[in-house]
Amino acid sequence: MKKRLLIGVVITSCHFDFQEEILKGIITQAFKSNCNIAVLTATHNFSLDTPQKEYDKKIFELILSDKFDGFLYERNTFCNEKIINYIDRLLESSEKPVMLLDSPDHERFESTAIDDCSAFEQITDHLIDVHGCNKIYCLTGPKNAFVSYERLNGYKISMKKHGLYYDRKSCIYGDFWEDAAKALADRIINNEIEKPDAVVCGNDHSAIVLIERLINSGIKVPEDIAVTGYDNTEDAKNNSPSITTFSRPNFQLGAESFRRLYRIITGKISSKILNNNGGIIFGCSCGCSQEIHTDKSITRKNKVNSRLETDILNRDMLFDISNTDNIADFADRLDNYTYYIYKMKRLEICLTRKYLESEESLTFRNGDDVKIIMSKSEVKRKDISGEYFSSSEIIPAFNQNLPYPCAYYISPLHYNNKFFGYSALSFGKEPMSFSKPYLYWLNNVNFSLEHLRIKSISSNISANTRNTAIYDENTHLLNRAGIEKVFTDMVKTLDGQGISVNFIRIQLTGLSKIYFKSGEKKCLEITAHFAGFLREIAKSGEICGFWADDTFCIITTANNRNDEIIPELVNKIRGTQFSADENCNIDFVAGLYSGEVNQKICISDSMHRASVNRIYNYNISENNLNPHFEKLCMLRSKIMKNPELPWNIDEIAKNLYLSKSYLQKIYKSYFGKSIIEEMIIFRIEKAKELLETTDITVTDIAKECGYSSYNYFARQFRTSVGISPSEYRTNAKNNGVP
């Protein structure tokens, strides 16, 4: 049988209605074209930077698998420039064709987009022609998003066509979420801007939030202000009043993007599936009274998932699957809870060798070994081989000559900075996506795997006490005691043979600057990544260790090894300078001392001699020559440690003998954010720690973090974290993760 193409879909937030429609179109067209689909999806979007999301993105390392023939990339869903750049680099490295969805022309990737412009023109035309609206505002999405510009442009075209006036105040860039809609409503309510006849919103959620805010203030919708949405979600239909919206042809976007990618890969044209064009859906929010008919299958799906969501949050799944002592028991318990996954046809849980064999560093790269520990087909448990396979194979199903194509959702299993593996979920022949209960299900699995890992470590702690005492916890290299012990054994073995030993000492001289600039956590990350490269470079029989807080060593009997080690190390760390998750491109110096192996040789003295005899000095740049740099580093360190203090820019500038404007300019040039922005970040981090680790009231926490107003604290916390302080505390206590 001829090999099927495997197309990767890179996307997130799959449980949202409009995302599911796009995926339905992709999968339906792929099945018609006899192709397999692997949807690589993180469990959340990346609008907020948190430790767990740093490892959530590791699933996209699978992009580098040779199994893929091309990719469909929903770039707009990631909401984070750092993550987008990370995925862009992976896709470029794959050297496979890439098709962007809903994006403008790109210098390296092809793109397919829906005409949001004409859709927004139609909605605005409806408000003007049918309801006689003259003063209309447009609330679109983020300023740097292509779809935001297209929707705003459609509004402008309609206003110009009808000879109606609009200005900058009428064209409002938002966030496709709640904050921008609330802010616009407040400006209208407080008479900061003139009350419009209507507001055209960039999506349904913004419209719903705007309407609720207006109605609560006594403004009637649609009598006083008409409001329209976009995307035709179920929430829009069920809202009161129901939302006049636009059924965007997302299904067709997915199908057409696949057809175009298929033609690029094969040179052949795939026959089209049934067209599913969109159009205006009339609700009551604009003044129309047309009844909205809801698809009964969708209503049933929502009811079932609502019940499943309640059950999974309130019943015993988490307690049951976390109360296990080994992987086999965990898999048996987990098998009892797959019914929470609506319409699941096949599920496989794949864990890495690193996790199963209790390695300390639980990171992930394409090609790492994984093993299936549970395989389920609908209600029947499937036999598993129990053997490891390369993650570059994704899952064994893609290697099997199945009589029909398949589609799997590949999602990461991890806890904070520890990557465990991934789950592979299929809905069989039905083109659909997973629902929100699956995300809760995965969270429970992640927490239980971490609990099992800790329990396993604790049970083996007495057996491993001797080994752990000679290893550094952060770098996982031999610590000073371990280096001395292993070196002593080497001396006993080689003494009297006339063999020379070379001490290569490497000191991270740039680490102190990193500490003042980014704190202890960043220093530990850099040190750990640097150690990983040394571990890769060191050969069998060489002693590779962590001598001091900023110093590594390689002790070897091989001649001229320094001529090999240093260039290889430089190449490796230079290669990380554009990597958000493991950048350890840092200043260092290398020293060398050689002496004959004998019982009298002193390792401490030899390491000191190596520090004196410098043979290489690596500087990443001549940056930070400004005499104020160290002062600003000290200032930042003080703010980080005491964010609750009433930091005043004028006083800081005066103490540093700088003008206020110059202080703010150079501070942001060094650290990427203003003093106030960083103070807020540090205050919120302190608040999160207090919410997780204490029972102090939220009001008192606000005071502890330097806020005189609880409401201002709560508003700033929600803006930064996405949920209220109380919700954050509840999540932390219930799930063990925020």
Q: Could you report the per-residue pLDDT of 492-547, keeping only the tens digit for each?
A: 887 777 788 899 999 998 887 777 667 778 888 889 989 989 988 988 889 999 99
Q: How far is CA 245 from the centre of its chain?
A: 30
Question: How crowded is residue 488: how many other Cβ atoms within 10 Å of its Cβ?
Answer: 12
The SS3 call for residue 447 is helix
Residue 621 confidence (pLDDT) above 70: no
For residue 621, what is the DSSP state? -
Q: In this structure, is residue 290 part of a structural domain? A: no
Give yes or no for a contact between 122 and 246, defined as CB atoms under 8 angstroms apart: yes
Same domain? 636 vs 608: no
Same domain? 120 vs 225: yes
pLDDT band at 598 (very low <50, low <70, confident <90, very high): confident
CATH of the domain at 126: 3.40.50.2300
Same domain? 475 vs 604: yes
CA distances from 46 to 12, 56, 80, 550, 595 (A): 9, 9, 6, 33, 53
Same domain? 614 vs 649: no
Give yes or no for a contact between 395 and 423, defined as CB atoms under 8 angstroms apart: no
Same domain? 198 vs 256: no
pLDDT score recorded for residue 368: 92
Same domain? 180 vs 328: no
Q: In this structure, is residue 88 part of a structural domain? A: yes
Same domain? 474 vs 583: yes
Q: In this structure, is residue 28 part of a structural domain? A: yes
Show the tokens assigned to 120: 């927004």
Q: Could you report the per-residue pLDDT of 550-597, keeping only the tens digit for each?
A: 899 999 988 888 888 988 888 788 777 655 566 788 888 888 888 887
Last residue of a domain, one of 423, 439, 460: 460
- End-to-end, the C-alpha distance of the chain in Å comes to 48
Averaged pLDDT of the chain: 85
Last residue of a domain, one of 406, 434, 460: 460
Last residue of a domain, one of 569, 586, 618: 618
Alpha helices in 9-80 (DSSP H): 17-32, 51-56
CA distances from 303 to 48, 119, 288, 308, 530 (A): 30, 31, 28, 9, 51
Same domain? 445 vs 500: no
Same domain? 522 vs 575: yes
Q: In this structure, is residue 317 part of a structural domain? A: no
Give yes or no for a contact between 544 and 472, defined as CB atoms under 8 angstroms apart: no
pTM above 0.85, yes or no: no
Same domain? 152 vs 265: no
CATH of the domain at 553: 3.30.70.270
Residue 47 confidence (pLDDT) above 70: no
CATH of the domain at 656: 1.10.10.60
| Pairing label, strands 98-101, 70-73 | parallel
Distance CA 21, CA 630 (A): 53
Same domain? 607 vs 683: no
CA distances from 664 to 189, 518, 640, 650, 654 (A): 35, 18, 17, 10, 12
At residue 650, φ and ψ (nearest 5 deg) are: -60, -45
Distance CA 712, CA 721 (A): 14
CA angle 32, 251, 56 (to 5 degrees): 95
Give mean pLDDT, residues 118-140: 94
pLDDT score recorded for residue 587: 86
Residue 226 confidence (pLDDT) above 60: yes
Q: In this structure, is residue 293 part of a structural domain? A: no
Burial of 317 from C-beta contacts in 10 A (0-12 / 13-18 / 19+) = buried
Same domain? 446 vs 485: no
pLDDT band at 128 (very low <50, low <70, confident <90, very high): very high
Residue 485 confidence (pLDDT) above 60: yes
Give yes or no for a contact between 591 and 607, defined as CB atoms under 8 angstroms apart: no
- The closest of 260, 320, 281 to 101, measured between CA atoms, is 260
What is the domain extent for residue 13?
Answer: 1-112+252-269+324-460
- The closest of 2, 8, 6, 63 to 36, measured between CA atoms, is 6
Specify the number of domains making up the chain.
4
pLDDT score recorded for residue 629: 63
